Amino acid sequence: MGIDDWAIRKGSRYGTIVVDLDRHRVIDLLPDRTARTLAGWLERHSGVALVARDRSTEYARGASLGAPQAQQVADRWHLLANMRQAVERWLYGAHARLRSLPPLSGSASLPVRRDHAFARSTAELEAGTQNRMRWQAVYDEVRRRHAGGEPLLGIARAMGLARATVRKYAAAETFPARLPHGAGPSLLDPHVAYLAGRIDEGCENAMALWREIREQGYPGTSRQVHRFVAERRTRPVRSGRKPRCARAGASQRPGTEAPLPPARQLAWLLVQLISVLDESDVAVVSRVEQDGTARAVTGLARRFTALVRAAGKGKTVADDQEEDAAADIAAWITQARSCEAPAIATFASGLDADSAAVRAALTEPWSSGQAEGQVNRLKLIKRQCYGRAGLDLLKRRMVLAA
């Protein structure tokens, strides 16, 4: 069987879906996702030989209590996702330090493109500044409480914050300020390289440049061209007004490095094999790996990703291969537990506590993918009922209809 959680009311109440992996059918819907409920259901339905699940500790404990004879298999997708999330948690605290690393000499030149949004209005900038000050105060209070010995859950409840936010702020060495707003899609994007080249040649007449790119197929007005030129202007305009100062890093010339991606995007790059990354992503990863801790984290993440992806190709592996997989994951856990990044060491300790299910994930073909698919079907039925269907009706439509 496979089990997974589903939202009765998202963010508030969750249930459990139970799927027969052999017959590809939903067996039952449980009213919550606690270990006691799952264990009681398993005790009433003896004969379960295998339980595929995510890495929820409640599901692990419920399966152990209700069906101690059953083999538990951790889902491989969740293992990879948890690895990336551990790297992301570490990056929240180290991102400011990594941003100060110098670019590598001889790195590939990046194409000319917009790397930030167009200028925002004064009111928007003031609102952003006030919002930053408010979150800076929240960050300082979280750090003060955490240094005083308060648990993260207690801080979250006292301050009305999400636990993930409290965990991120407690781990961050400096305030994790939001990076400059990235560039969204614009009609001007196909013509940025041409405009940058003409400006380098000395042409700073926005209307003339607009007429030139309009002949090349630009369908927009001159407004975006004026904004683009204003940030790169080096001489006063004819009216005598002083040009607006370009923001630091506002333009990206050939041969310069792109800003470091946000923590979530950078975490995805660090867990990938170098062979699947393009040239610009390899340059970003190489720049980050100048830091010793980052180099160790990246090596562990890549090795773990390779172990998981090499396993579970749809058939049961031989006994000697199973022993090799078990030895490889045990060696990885031992090395990761001594990592200087606390998030990686914590993740490795969690794998060690769930070692039997993790080893099974590397040697067994089962996963909770079927349960995930049935959850999608359940979501569709809930929406067809405008979110008003109770548990009994959902059981009839999910279980009896099959």
Q: Could you tell me the pLDDT band of residue 118, with boundaries at 50, 70 and 90?
A: low
Average pLDDT (183-193) is: 78
CA dist., res. 238 & res. 220, Å (int): 24
pLDDT band at 116 (very low <50, low <70, confident <90, very high): low
Kindly report whether the global pTM for this prediction surpasses the value 0.75: no
Does residue 335 share a domain with residue 323? Answer: yes
pLDDT value of residue 246: 39
In a domain, residue 268? The reply is: yes
Which domain range does residue 335 map to? 78-104+261-355
In a domain? residue 28? yes
Q: How far apart (Å, rounded) are the C-alpha atoms in residues 353 and 206?
A: 63
The amino acid occupying position 381 is I
268 lies in the same domain as 326: yes
Q: Is the predicted pLDDT of residue 274 greater than 80, yes or no? A: yes
User: What is residue 84's predicted lDDT score, i.e. its pLDDT?
Assistant: 96
Q: Is residue 276 part of a domain?
A: yes
- Residue 10 pLDDT greater than 90, yes or no: no
In a domain, 393, yes or no: yes
Over residues 219-259, the pLDDT tens digits come to 988 888 888 888 777 766 665 554 444 333 344 444 444 57
Give the closest residue to 37 by CA, choosing from 10, 12, 50, 18.
18
pLDDT at 320: 61
Query: Are 285 and 330 in a shared domain?
Result: yes
Outline where DSSP puts E strands in 115-185: none
| Amino acid 261: pLDDT | 86
Q: Do 93 and 52 lie in a common domain?
A: no
Reported as a pLDDT band with limits 50, 70 and 90, residue 102 is confident
Do residue 378 and residue 350 come from a single domain? no
User: Is residue 99, in this structure, part of any structural domain at all?
Assistant: yes
Same domain, 70 and 88: no
Burial class for 19, CB neighbours closer than 10 Å (0-12, 13-18, 19+): buried
The answer to whether residue 58 sits within a structural domain is yes
Give the mean pLDDT of 192-203: 87
Alpha-carbon gap, residue 72 to 52, rounded angstroms: 6
**Is the domain of 302 the same as that of 387?**
no
* Contact present, 78 and 54 (Cβ < 8 Å): yes
Q: How many domains does the chain fold into?
A: 2
Cα separation of the two ends of the chain: 16
Lowest mean pLDDT among 185-199, 307-321, 323-337: 307-321
Residue 117 lies inside a defined structural domain of this protein: no
Average pLDDT over residues 84-100: 90
- Partners of 73 in the beta sheet? 52
265 with 340, same domain: the answer is yes
Do 344 and 302 have their domain in common? yes
From 105-114, 117-126, 387-396, the region with the lowest mean pLDDT: 105-114
Place of tokens 């000697």: 320
Amino acid in the structure at residue 44: R
- C-alpha distances (whole Å) from 372 to each of 53, 90, 346, 369, 382 are 10, 28, 26, 5, 15
Q: Are residues 93 and 65 in the same domain?
A: no
